[in-house]
Structure 1
Amino acid sequence: MARFLLLLVCITLSQGVQAQWRLIYTSKDILAEESDTIHKITSIHSRGALSKYLIVHSSDQSKKRVLKKDIWGYIDGDNKLWRSYNKEFYMVTNYNGGWVEYAITRLVPDRPSQSFNLLLYSRTLDSRVYSNWMKAMGDLPQNYIVR
């Protein structure tokens, strides 16, 4: 009985509390409060890099297709922010107001079992994504105020 209780306590402690999945339609929505809705999002899945759609699963067991180009990104169950750019999703790893840093995992060409992490950059949350930090810093949108 004591082993069972110990196992139950360990399982309970190992399960973290998941954050609410959320679609983000513009970069301004990142800090917005999530609204209480009847249909809470339980997961979001991409159908692949070539697909135009995401599959959004709700708590009422319904599924919805959302065009990738209609959203800015999403927040997953681990409270990580993902940006949609050119039909791919990039995880935002750092945003300090001056630039944005992203991470993505890519497969090694000719070795599909191996992958590597790639860091990418953009000047703002809405500007183009570059693999070179200097190019990203040179990309200033119109009416952008440099701090």
Structure 2
Amino acid sequence: MGKIFIREEEWGSEEEFIIFDDFQKVSKWYIGPLDYEDYVDKTREFLSDFICAQDSFPVFLTFEPYSEQSVKLEKLLNDNAISYTSRLEGIGSRTFPVFSIKLKGVQSLQLVLEETFWIAAANQFFAISFTDNGTYK
């Protein structure tokens, strides 16, 4: 694993629309590779290594892909027997897909991160949790 940069950040900017039931128990950390070269790939590799080292499967992933990606993602998940749900969120005619995936092991984690981490890198919603207690509205 390469060198990484870690910094605690404050919540509450006008651009953040995340609401927590118990805000006092939430921390926000920026963690990424120290070097900017191949930043997305190195971040994905670090995330995979970190999650695998925790050895606390299943892992739960919720994310917003672009609408045109839904069919491709569903095929990938179905072909690899990865448990997921998808639904449309939004208001009126402005809807977008939201996927919730249960990753049961290292192989499914690595496959899904390889195929979807670019979504996080494009600043779309992309949340990973060791517990299945998050909701998306």
Which TM class, normalised by the smaller chain length?
under 0.3
Q: TM-score, normalised on structure 1?
A: 0.22
Bigger Rg, structure 1 or 2? 1
Return the structure number with greater strand share: 1
Higher relative contact order (CA 8 A, sep 6+): 2
Q: TM-score, normalised on structure 2?
A: 0.23
